[in-house]
Chain A
Amino acid sequence: MDVLDLARWQFGITTVYHFLMVPLTIGLSLLVAGMQTAWVRTGDRKYLAMTKFWGKLLLINFAMGVVTGIVQEFQFGMTWSAYSRFVGDVFGAPLAMEGLVAFFVESTFLGLWIFGWDRLPKKVHLACVWAFSLATIASAYFILAANSWMQHPVGVELVDGRPRLTSIWAVLGNNTVLAAFPHTIFGAFSVAATFLVGIAAWHLWRRSDDGPVWRASVKFGTWVGVVAFTGLAITGDVQGKLMFEQQPMKMAAAEALCHTESPAAFSVFAIGDVSRPDCENVKSVTVPALLSFLAHNDFTTEVKGIEDLVPMYQEKYGANYPVDPRLGELSGKPIDYVPNLPVTYWGFRLMIGFGAIAVGAGLLILWLTRGGRVPRGRWFAWLALGSIATPFLANSFGWIFTEMGRQPFVVVPNPSGVDGVWMFTARAVSSSTPGEVLTSLIALTLVYGVLACVEVFLIRRYVRAGVAGVLPGPQPDDDKSDDRGESDKKSDEDVLSFAY
């Protein structure tokens, strides 16, 4: 493999991995903030138990999100140095803003929240968790603004062959990020909601202690889920229409649509190999005219197929890569404008499919637990715990589709933007040796793999232990227990209410 492939694998692995932690952190932190608010307002111990239990799982997960996020901040410079030079004037700003405005708040107030139990006044402590969770959302906005600029570059002019920022408001107000941001946040809430419902339903099935805690969690998760999945469908539809305008090739690749259709049918699933040139012969179950509707809100719009788009792209952006030793094997070769169709086609379907399964499983759990009943069969435990994985998978496949669908570009040309502001992925990579990237790829993948096992082990342990694991009952002989220290701050024996 050459540096380009290695660098892409590394970016893919580290980013998909990072994004397993991110949506859970974003979604769960706001839900925990909501739970703590309920506790502060009502004084009901049930809400305290919820805050502690879900908060602990949030923390276990957040630690992993933070450390894998560090790699992301460095990776552009390390493996994509040519990209960093090309886009630095635009792309670095939202990343730096994320650090300065959002991530500082996140990590500082999280520390205050973890260690501030019984030490800070209740309301100040509550404000800390809100500051933390709102900062995670702000963080997502800046990162998505950066990513959206790669999908749809705006607010720039071309100077000396490099994009130069002319309006930061255009970048932050890019219609692509305005659609991607709510979609991603709803995605995060879908993860957190399913997490709540799945784990709480499992506890109900086990007849664990603290039944009210689990029932309240199922209810809370359900409401969040309803909003999140509805929001996902609506924002996803908006994104589809933007994609039709901004990235016609990605639209065609999502459908593995070989030929232009008018009206265009939406393929539900296909039998056979969707990759070119065989995509012409694939048997596909379709819904007539639906794709036209997804693209342009009516049932007649023409949707361009791959075979018609390729010549258009060749004419606009060149048929061959330039002759440049830095391009390695690709130097002077024809440019393949078609993304990896099996990945885009199936990625798109798996995103929607797993999202739909998550909704179905959620509704089923809800119906099965109606009126306080809980099925006794083992299958119900499997259903509850299994459903947790589905929105994670939907999120991952959504991103894999989005990022693979823009290949061979790393910065996709904006059809109505400034000419020349685009970049091929092949030109973006550093001049590192393959050995270097292979070393980091192997090292990071191994470490991430080990850490994944550790995280799952810990989450399992804390989930099993339930409320008792995080909130011990009163102990008359000793109140120095973790998480529940005495609150007499004047005392000389002032014990930390929480300590590592």
Chain B
Amino acid sequence: MSALRESLGFLTSRLRQVGIFVALILIVLLFQVLTDGILLQPQNVTNLVVQNSYILILAIGMVMVIIAGHIDLSVGSIAGFIGAVSGVMIVHWGWAWWIAIPACLLVGALVGAWQGYWIAYVGIPAFIVTLAGMLIFRGLTLITLKNQQITPFPAELRALGGGFLPDISGGTSVLEWLTVILGVGGTAAILFQAIKERRVRRKFNLENEPMAWFAIKTGFIALLMLTITFLLASYRGTPIVLIVLAVLVIVYSALMNNSIFGRHTYAIGGNLHAAELSGIKTKAVTFRLFVNMGVLAALAGLVFTARLNSAQPAGGTGFELDSIAAAFIGGAAVQGGIGTVAGAMVGGLIMGVLNNGMSILGLGTDYQQLIKGLVLLLAVGFDIFNKNRSSGGGSAIGKRFKLRTTPPAGAETKEPAQDRPVAVPAGTEQASAVRNP
């Protein structure tokens, strides 16, 4: 009885994380029924992965930028621009793919450094800099392509977008065994990691998830992994881009959780002033975040170009909105400080399944956009509602909002503003006081 109550209490305290997962399952089931089972057919699952890979790659960088309290509107244009650059390098200049790919990522890094410089060191809000970047790099895309698509690309590059890992059984088996090995191995690794982490938390006396919830959650994730493995294996195997994506998710999750850089990112987004006063080099961290975003946008551009086998003037249009939506549906907070790479991936998959399912149903882009917009609104609205309801609890947005608008009860009696270094107008001036070198 008490175990049940404990589990329920835990679930309500994590309504958001649980909710997003449940939402993904419900949406999958809904479209599975509506499409008469087409959604989860092996070929369609493979499509789903490949179609969404570039949005998911962008969402990794985007959620990091959002955690730090910024935004990036330019990633679609950057992806398009890098697609154009790769076209010129590979098709026009005849560069080998193994030179062209690093070169394109380097160009992406430079683009990110350009934007990061204006945001971090000049202090222009990211919204403005990247809005400008959205125009600038779209313009450069058109200039580079002279308004015409570049095609065709060599097979090696196309493999990045539409290629699969080789079939080790030589085409004799119904299942792709390499995929099965990777999938089962990956699932085992995830289970092992989850159990290890739970042990560590117990050892250090930290609050742990109730056993029941832990078992259901990890069991479900394992089942999901194995299902996807089976579906992919019974079509053409593992898309190469899925391997790229998996590596990125693992590396960036670790980076955000365990590295100094990742932890400083959360600290900056959570409270910029406290981060600065703790000796964190906030400008350097911001700069690097945008360089990183540039590299990931370049990679997304390459994958997209490879998939289409063509660098197009309008390539990447709208990617920024899908990746931003993925991050927010995945639980990132608008004010920064909150969000996870894994959450952004789930958010991206929700958008992806919606896109894919509605396309199968034959809904036009008109209704697709309408429904995607409503989903985004509902997801973040649910977030805010949930936080207001439990205000005083883990209400990040609500709490931060309240902090800014009304002083805490004690403050009114203690007249805290009196002794602050600057008085008028408190917000802006204090911010600049701290920023002042």
Q: Do A and B truly interact? A: no
Q: What is the interface of chain A, defined by CB distance below 8 A to chain B? A: none
Interface residues of B (CB under 8 A from A): none
